[in-house]
Amino acid sequence: PEVVVLDDGFQHRALARDLDLLLLDAADPLGNGRMLPFGPLREPPYAVSRADAVVLTRSDGHCPPALTTLLQRHNPGVAIFHARIDPFRFVRPDGEAVALGVLRGFAAFALSGIARPDRFEADLKRLGLRLVGSRRHPDHRRFTAKDLDEAGQEARRSGAEVMVTTEKDMVRILQPPAAAPPLYALAQRLSFPPGPSLDGWLLDRLQALGHAAGATVR
């Protein structure tokens, strides 16, 4: 390998790295400004000083004023890129893709084990599904057979025609609950609006690093 990409590596300070990409939610980049367990941050806000680039997800193309002030103070001139995360399609457990419009109007029961289930459920409503119930588990939940059976029974009682989960959760559902309505996962896609290119910036930086190390990045 010529490049190793580590997810959630920003806080692994002992790890040697060449580039740090810091992803922040444009709608709520700093939360209440406090660290876990009193807030959502894993480090103090001034840790943005270590970022080589900031990627604002769920962005409308503008940097929030509070974040702009923070970056001007601790990391002036840092590269900033904007990205959107949009629903892409539904996926069945067997991998079959289903167009977003196919489930419009269906009564749906949402099952999730993610950090922000409210956003997932809001996406379903925007896509025209009628949310008749939901079951929210903590982030990274390893679903048990009991979890799934109870969710399936609750979905049936609520009158749901389909059960919808996230792609992240679908991989932890080894066997869809037998008593549940048909199960789908909502797949999402990351896109970058017109403007400065993150991939171009990355390739330039990696090429420079590769030349310094005597390697070629393609």
The stretches of 61-144 forming alpha helices (DSSP H) are 65-74, 117-126
Mean pLDDT, the chain, rounded, equals 92
Contact 59, 168 (CB under 8 A): no
The per-residue pLDDT for range 46-55, each reduced to its tens digit, is 999 999 999 9
* pLDDT, mean of residues 207-214: 74
The per-residue pLDDT for range 130-174, each reduced to its tens digit, is 999 999 999 989 999 999 999 999 999 999 999 999 999 999 998
* pLDDT, mean of residues 35-43: 91
* pLDDT, mean of residues 53-81: 94
Residues 6+ apart with CB under 8 A from 140: 113
pLDDT at residue 57 is higher than 70: yes
Extract the runs of DSSP E, i.e. beta strands, from the chain. Answer: 21-25, 53-57, 79-82, 84-91, 97-98, 107-112, 130-136, 162-166, 183-191
Confidence of residue 1 (pLDDT cuts 50, 70, 90): confident
At residue 89, the 3 state secondary structure works out as: strand
Model pLDDT, residue 60: 87
The per-residue pLDDT for range 75-91, each reduced to its tens digit, is 999 999 999 999 999 99
Model pLDDT, residue 215: 57
CA-based nearest residue to 184, from 173, 199, 192: 173
Amino acid at 83: A
* pLDDT, mean of residues 1-17: 88
* pLDDT, mean of residues 10-22: 91
H/E stretch holding 114 reads: none
**This model's pTM is above 0.95:** no
CB atoms within 10 A of CB 122: 12
pLDDT at residue 212 is higher than 70: no
Confidence of residue 197 (pLDDT cuts 50, 70, 90): confident
Confidence of residue 2 (pLDDT cuts 50, 70, 90): confident
